[in-house]
Amino acid sequence: MLTIIEDIEDIEDRGHISLKMSSSEVASWQTTFAYSAALTLVAVSTVMFLHSWLFSKPRYDFHGKHVLITGGTKGLGLALAKRLAVNQQAQVTVCARTERDLNETTRAIREAFAEDHFGRVQGIVCDVTDADQVEKMIASAEGAFGPISVLICCAGQALPGHFVEQSVEDFKRQIELNYVGSLLPTHKVVKNMVERKQKDGKIIFVASQAALMSMAGYAAYSPSKFAVRGLAEALRHELLPHQIDVHIAFPGNMNSPGYEVEQRTKPAVTKKIEAGESLHDPLDVAIATLDSISKGEFAIYGGNFSGYFLGRMARGLAPYGNHLLLDMLIAPILVIVAFAHRKYIIDKAHF
């Protein structure tokens, strides 16, 4: 062994080989590494592009389609109604509990129409937690604009609070509006679609990031949105033979009247955890959401980058995308992000 070491040292001393890299060799190695990384990135991007090109569906066209939006007079629902009626030229039915809100919404949308505009809008008063009212509303909507092609369940409300300080009625109220208020119109619309063998139907549930994870302050709200998520995942599977597409949106906090209301009862610890989050514009979320729907995406994050990563971490076996290669690449990162996020929430919860 000593002889071998001495031989190596003798060869190095005579300049036959060098065990140290010169500056030119370092530069060459760095260049090679950079080219390899670039080629790898190009290869991954090419595979992702080809996968998307080969397996993606044609974009869905809302033009002329009858779209029913529940809770369409405020926040995201209002932004979706305007975008669909004005920009997509759809036939939009908006339902809400108060006639005053409906009149203001339909008037504002009609004023934005051009002279040769094809889209139309109508408003119908309805409490989506009442089965009889829902059935009558849908019959009235289809009587005016024809069969409903797209249902967007946007009616909902968050009433945050400490678990021990909220009443049982607070829990029931949010289950009724957020879950039952999505279930009843969906049940009737889907039943109609199946009976007439409609093949281009779409059901969109608007949930929340609180349907991907929960935390202090959302003990009454999150379960109602988790229920919507469960319904969406079940229906996506069940309605495949009928060629009815199901989507679910997980928007973050938005600058809307609903957000102002929830701030009144939101515990300090919840506000503390959410302090670093952006407040999104409902119109921006609406544009991104409709784009995702038109591309056939099941899980929709409304252009929210943090929501996208949260969805990737929380999806389990749910069909939240077909980006297998991308999922494999970011999986190690998600593990670290999830650990850091959990620690952040736990630290903030020490109130």
Report the catalytic residues: 221, 225
The two structure tokens encoding residue 313:
């971490």
Helices (H), the chain: 2-13, 23-55, 75-82, 99-111, 131-145, 168-174, 181-195, 222-238, 257-265, 268-273, 282-294, 305-314, 324-348
- Please check whether residue 60 is in contact with residue 175, taking contact to mean a CB–CB distance below 8 angstroms: no
Please say whether the dihedral angle defined by the alpha carbons of residues 222, 224, 228 and 231, taken in this order, is positive or negative: positive
Place of tokens 């080629």: 39
If DSSP codes are grouped into helix, strand and coil, which group holds residue 41? helix
Distance of CA 243 to the CA centre of its chain: 21
Instruction: Write the secondary structure of 207-270 as one string of H (helix), E (strand) and C (coil).
Output: CCHHHCCCCCCCCCCHHHHHHHHHHHHHHHHHCHHHCCEEEEECCCCECCHHHHHHHHHCCHHH
Tell me the HSE value of 232 on the side-chain side, using a 13 A CA sphere. Answer: 32
> Quick one: which of 285, 262, 85 has its CA closest to 157?
262
Instruction: Calculate ∠ Cα 206-191-287, nearest 5°.
Output: 25
Spatial CA neighbour of 223 closest among 206, 211, 205, 207: 211
Q: Are 148 and 68 in contact (CB under 8 A)?
A: yes
> Residue 149 in contact with residue 61, Cβ under 8 Å?
no
247 in Cβ contact with 241 (< 8 Å) = no
